[in-house]
Amino acid sequence: MSAGAAALIAGWAFWILLVYGRIMGELTSKRVAVLVALWLLGLFGFSLMSYYGGPLFTVFVAVLDIVLVLTIFKGDVRIT
């Protein structure tokens, strides 16, 4: 259950951060296109792998989320 929740959160966060970064002007159209192309490449590439491709795609999307956070917010986000 928790792996499914992590995959859902990572997926939603990717698309929300992508739209937010584009609206705020932190991401150019070219960067958005590259990130979407990487996401699609990961989706199709990991689906070709055997049983462990799905969990690896979740990790891949989480790394893309980290890249988006560091790019949009110019560093790590403070929690406190």
Look up the pTM and report it: 0.84
pLDDT at 5 over 80: yes
Domains of the chain, by residue range, sit at: 2-72
Neighbours of 60 (CB within 10 A): 18
The whole-number pLDDT of residue 1 equals 58
Tokens 């795609």 -> residue: 57
pLDDT in tens, 16-73: 999 999 999 999 999 999 999 999 999 888 888 777 777 888 889 999 999 999 999 8
The whole-number pLDDT of residue 64 equals 94
pLDDT at 12 over 80: yes
Residues 6+ apart with CB under 8 A from 56: 46, 49
